Amino acid sequence: MAVLNEEQQMLKDMAADWARERMPVTALRSLYDHGGGGRADSIGYDPEAWAEMAQMGWTGILAPQDHGGSDFGYLSLGLILEEMGKTLAASPLLSSALVAVSALRMGGDDAQQARWLPGLADGSVIGTLALDEGPHHAPERLALAATPSGDGWTLSGIKRPVQDGMVAHLAIVAAHTSGAPGVRDGITLFLVDTAAPGLTRTPLDQIDARLPATFTFDKVIVSPDAVLGEVGQGADLLDALRDRAAVGIAAEMLGSASQAFDTILDYLRTRVQFGAIIGSFQALQHRAACLFGELQLTRSAVELALVAIDEGDTALPALASLAKATAGDTLHAISSQMVQLHGGIGMTHEHDAGLYLKRARVAEQCYGSTAWHRERWARLNGY
Amino acid sequence: MVESEAIDEQAFRLEARAWLKANFPPSLAHVPGLIFQGDRHTAEANADYQLWRQRMADKGWGVPNWASRYGGADLTSLHGKIIGEELTAIGGFNPIRSYGTMMLGPTLLEYGNEAQKLEHLPFIASHERRWCQGFSEPGAGSDLASLQTRCTDMGDHWLVNGQKIWTSGADQADWCFAIVRTDTSRKQGGISFLLIDMASEGIEARPIVLISGSTHFCEVFFNDVKVPKGNLVGQVNQGWTIAKRLLQFERNSLSEVKADITPLSPLAHEYLGTDALGRIDSPDLRARMVHNAMRHEAYMATVHRFAQEAKNGGPSNGVSTLKNLWSGIIQERSELLVELMGANGLGWAGDAYGEAEREAARALLHSKAFSIYGGSFEVQNNITAKHTLGLPG
């Protein structure tokens, strides 16, 4: 555990209590039940719970105080995301309170901040990043085109998957205003109202019961004041944004992995076979001891990256990739072992193990897979 | 309060920097301190090393947080950390570091009586007395508490008979801290902790040749060895408790070895070449090197985090976890280093191989010991499972 100040410790305790009482894993089951046919009207999150999160100030943790936020920093928001990860609490907190708010803080001008930040901070507006276009996170290949039209721009192309895309009001859309895919020059970020004419959103029925979307842009017209940062110079801002998003999801993954591990331990301490508690078998003890070690590496890497953001550490790109890749490896292993060590019951829809496994595989792909981040770390370190 | 501490810290840093600059012999810069720690003859033959050792001994900075009457400098561990950092910054090393400072010293501070502390700690603090650790026996490896070396109360002295093995540097040691059996009716409860002068009659230390060619480890035979009554630390039959504490210090020192791990990437480019995109031209090996390097970075962050938590009174039960992570990561790195050198990394001796190449081969062989000594990988996992994770015994 990182060294927390009093406010951070209170925030963490509050988030842990709230997640346990208000958003236990059963809340995810009631949201969307893949084992029981599913709710046709699912929107991937619980608006009443979201309102409570906003009420507690979580949506405004990264927003400046003069725009209705508390400016508590990334470590604080990371603590909450970790607690949400423990119970698989589904909400747009990461997409909106971390990614969208970060985008406006880092790239928004006064007018843009005044227009969007108060709503994002009080939870009445949900924001998200529309970046990926194909099966893999590949920002270097983004192709969505923005062509000049009048004094603004026309966007055409596809974004998929867009996290929390069906409920977002605001999308930060990465497009090429010039230059070809694969070239950093010419990337521009746009603030797009998801109600804009020509933008069609289609839900993606994903294994983890979240509801990302495919965004189809058919000549969507945006005004010049929708440009975040400089025209054609958005690549650096996009990198900084992706680093923060990757660290945010890594914090959530740390929470999921530590809860999955605790659930494994509970089972090892109580399940009896061959007349013995199975946790007394050395093969299982050693597997648990090794997973515990991986969990320690993950906590260290995630906390290091969160603090690096707050302190403006220039090593953030490598540290963000370290955090995401380490969390990816660990959650992958622990979620698989959660099923394995529970045996048959772990394969049933009734047991929570499957829900952790499904969320794990989705989170592993979000904002860059383990492989993508390892490759990036390698490049940054001269391998 | 915080501010004045911060100023004090900065002032001490400058003081340490100036003193080290004035006193650390430049000829020793970037020389690994382990070569002196590991070999008495190398240490005695090097005049600059002896000068450096004496200066640090006089200053008390080899063990800065020990009391000055024991040869320390009455400083805090924060001061010690600063001295260490400033030393690293000039490519220096602590010439006092030894089994004495890492293992026996901290144990004596907790369990020794005043006479024992005064007799031994100053000589540890000056590194004038080399110590070896008489723990393992042929029949007591991972199951250490089954040790059989007998220690009999002869009224005015103890009489020791038996055999120890894997005793590092026993052939060069002045003294030995050993655990011995004082009661055969109980296992853990029949063990005592004894300090034995290696010059005593009846002791023979024989070096063992290892797969790496090293003769660092010895077997030690005790044949009717007389030991003064005052050399028993703590109470009779309390030795297992003391030994477990000492093993914690040992694991701690093993896992905290910073051992400036240089990245493998420059060497890998040199031996394997670079592809058109600037990457090491061996995708599979490159991927494994990157994975290992990232684990090492996360491991170092974990060492740091555990130290922080311990300072803040948090959980510090992670020594076994750290030791296993460390041995696994370093062993893998040793393999990768040889693998990237290819056939050149497989030389035993001769000018056909560079010095670094020969060292890489020896280091790979030596690294296999990391998951055996100081409590094997399996024993550490047993400890983690039972004590940290609360799984049933």
Architecture of the domain spanning A129-233? Beta Barrel (2.40)
Q: Is residue B115 part of a domain?
A: no
CA A339 to chain centre: 23
| pLDDT of the residue at B18 | 96
Range with lowest mean pLDDT among A31-45, A259-273, A346-360? A31-45
Is residue B312 located within the same domain as residue B278?
A: yes
Identify the CATH homologous superfamily for domain A6-125: Acyl-CoA dehydrogenase/oxidase, N-terminal domain (1.10.540.10)
B163 lies in which domain range? 131-238
Determine, for residues B293 and A383 on separate chains, whether the beta-carbon distance falls below 8 Å: yes
Indicate which of B271, B292, B321, B327 best probes the interface with A, i.e. most A CBs within 10 Å of its own CB: B321
Per domain, the residue ranges of chain A are: 6-125, 129-233, 236-380
- A286-307, pLDDT tens digit by residue? 999 999 999 999 999 999 999 9
Determine, for residues A1 and B309 on separate chains, whether the beta-carbon distance falls below 8 Å: yes
Which residue from A277, A296, A382 is facing B392, i.e. has the nearest CB?
A277
Contacts of B325 in chain A (CB under 8 A): 293, 296-297
Contacts of B304 in chain A (CB under 8 A): 300
Least Cα separation, residue A131 to chain B (angstroms): 25
| pLDDT of the residue at B319 | 85
Last residue of a domain, one of B97, B120, B143: B97
- End-to-end Cα, chain A, rounded Å: 31
**pLDDT for B316 beyond 70:** no
| pLDDT of the residue at B259 | 52
Q: Is residue B112 part of a domain?
A: no
One-letter amino acid identity for A134?
G
Under 8 Å between Cβ of B57 and B51: no
**Residue B119 is among the residues annotated as catalytic for this protein:** no
Domain count for chain B: 3
| pLDDT of the residue at A115 | 97
Determine, for residues B380 and A289 on separate chains, whether the beta-carbon distance falls below 8 Å: yes
Determine, for residues B381 and A300 on separate chains, whether the beta-carbon distance falls below 8 Å: no
Last residue of a domain, one of B238, B270, B304: B238
One-letter amino acid identity for A64?
P
Q: Which residue of A has its CA nearest to B303?
A: A300
Is residue B137 located within the same domain as residue B216?
A: yes
Identify the CATH homologous superfamily for domain A236-380: Butyryl-CoA Dehydrogenase, subunit A, domain 3 (1.20.140.10)
Determine, for residues A299 and B393 on separate chains, whether the beta-carbon distance falls below 8 Å: no
Which residue from B269, B309, B389 is facing A289, i.e. has the nearest CB?
B389
Confidence grade of residue B2 (pLDDT, cut at 50, 70, 90): very low
Last residue of a domain, one of B238, B264, B283: B238
Non-local (6+) Cβ contacts of B113 within 8 A are B233
Q: What number is the ipTM of this complex?
A: 0.94
The pair of three-digit structure tokens given for residue A75, joined into one six-digit string: 């470590």
- Give CA–CA dist B241/A166, Å, rounded: 62
Q: Is residue B116 part of a domain?
A: no
Task: CATH number of the domain at B376, please.
Answer: 1.20.140.10
Indicate which of A295, A297, A304, A306 best probes the interface with B, i.e. most B CBs within 10 Å of its own CB: A297
**Catalytic residue from among B137, B250, B339, B357:** B250
Is residue B204 located within the same domain as residue B267?
A: no
Q: Which residue of A has its CA nearest to B308?
A: A3
**pLDDT for B68 beyond 60:** yes
Question: Higher confidence at residue B139 or residue B1?
Answer: B139
Determine, for residues A300 and B304 on separate chains, whether the beta-carbon distance falls below 8 Å: yes
